[in-house]
């Protein structure tokens, strides 16, 4: 791979910078020092997922540039769903409906070739220094009580990982995909939509109001297609909040601890609506 093949920068995340690459491809170039095994993992998972019945980019080759590893993907043109939501919030209800329908479709697929979601959560919770052993045990027992199913879960399903391409939603960034119990994936999406850590540059007062509306709408829509109990959802939310602590996202620690220790109001509106 040569520098001359790289086009303009089109995105950046916490682990990589994304550049155009030729006419119809992009390259996701991982930061220096990012573990090679994790790049390999994203590549393998991307290949597997793109062969399944979900809208995801095709995966090209693994490349190396000036010591930085990268993965070439099919370029999906269009704005991300997050960008769309910020541009036209009046259409939020329609976008969230589509976003949920696609999440439910993903969960309707089965795969046992991916990492085991339950094991990933067990490991993340066990590594937590901020939690007492008794809390860890409670969370892990709660996790074992969920049915052992092998639904496809994205693991990081949020509006910035979706591109609206010619009216169709395409899901990117499958590195955290696993098989497991879908409500855990739903709880993580709820958490990601609600996070106080936001990278978008809009007035923070407004964005937090938008987040509340979106998170509530997301949960309500998912519930209408695949109902779940309040107790199960709250248990799942605590589990994914504890696992999220391991990601060390700035400004999240206190908020996550308040969810785990029941100091945060429970998102019950969906249950009060449905009675
Ligand atoms: N296949 C793709 N086609 C077009 N844009 C992409 C593609 N993959 C990533 N991007 C852009 O780059 C951004 C970050 O990519 P992503 O894979 O989500 O990286 P990260 O793991 O750092 O979140 C996306 O939000 C999107 O704007
Ligand atoms: Mg991403």
Domains and CATH numbers, the chain: 3-74 (3.30.200.20), 79-274 (3.90.1200.10)
pLDDT digits (tens, 9 = 90+) for 249-260: 888 999 999 999
Measured distance CA(57)–CA(74) in Å, rounded: 5
pLDDT score recorded for residue 207: 85
pLDDT score recorded for residue 112: 83
Q: Measured from the CA of 57, which atom of ligand 1 is nearest?
A: 1
Measured distance CA(103)–CA(184) in Å, rounded: 12
Confidence of residue 103 (pLDDT cuts 50, 70, 90): very high
> Which-ligand-closest: CA of 56?
1
What predicted TM-score, i.e. pTM, was given to this entire model?
0.94
Range of 113-122, 197-206, 258-267 with top mean pLDDT? 113-122
Residues with CB under 5 A from ligand 2 (ion): 13, 161, 173
Cα four-point dihedral sign 212, 92, 244, 10: negative
Q: Measured from the CA of 73, which atom of ligand 1 is nearest?
A: 1
pLDDT score recorded for residue 273: 45
pLDDT digits (tens, 9 = 90+) for 8-32: 999 888 889 999 998 899 999 999 9
CA–centroid distance, residue 201 to ligand 1 (Å): 18
pLDDT digits (tens, 9 = 90+) for 211-228: 999 999 999 999 999 999
Give 58-63 contacts, CB < 8 A, sequence gap 24+. Answer: 60/25, 63/1, 63/27
């Amino acid at each position: 791979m040569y520098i001359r093949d790289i086009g303009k920068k089109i995105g950046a995340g916490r682990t990589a910078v994304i550049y155009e690459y030729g006419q119809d491809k992009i390259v996701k170039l991982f930061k220096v020092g990012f573990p090679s095994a994790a790049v390999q993992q994203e590549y393998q998972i991307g290949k597997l997922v793109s062969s399944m019945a979900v809208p995801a980019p095709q995966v090209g080759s693994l490349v190396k540039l000036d010591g930085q590893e990268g993965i070439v993907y099919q370029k999906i043109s269009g704005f991300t769903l997050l960008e769309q939501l910020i541009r036209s919030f009046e259409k939020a209800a329609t976008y969230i409906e589509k976003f949920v329908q696609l999440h439910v479709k993903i969960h309707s697929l089965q795969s046992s070739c991916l990492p085991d979601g339950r094991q990933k959560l067990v490991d993340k919770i066990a590594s937590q220094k901020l939690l007492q052993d008794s809390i860890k045990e409670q969370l892990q027992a709660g996790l074992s009580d969920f049915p052992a199913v092998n639904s496809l879960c994205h693991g990081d399903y949020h509006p910035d990982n979706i591109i609206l391409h010619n009216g169709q939603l395409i899901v990117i960034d499958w590195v955290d995909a696993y098989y497991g119990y879908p409500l855990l994936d739903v709880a993580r999406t709820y958490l990601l939509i609600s996070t106080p850590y936001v990278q978008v540059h809009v007035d923070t007062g407004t964005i937090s109001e938008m987040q509340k509306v979106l998170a509530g709408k997301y949960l309500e829509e998912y519930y209408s297609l695949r109902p779940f109990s309040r107790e199960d959802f709250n248990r799942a939310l605590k589990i994914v909040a504890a696992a999220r602590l391991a990601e060390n996202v700035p400004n999240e620690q206190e908020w996550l601890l308040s969810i785990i220790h029941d100091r945060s109001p429970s998102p019950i509106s969906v249950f009060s609506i449905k009675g």
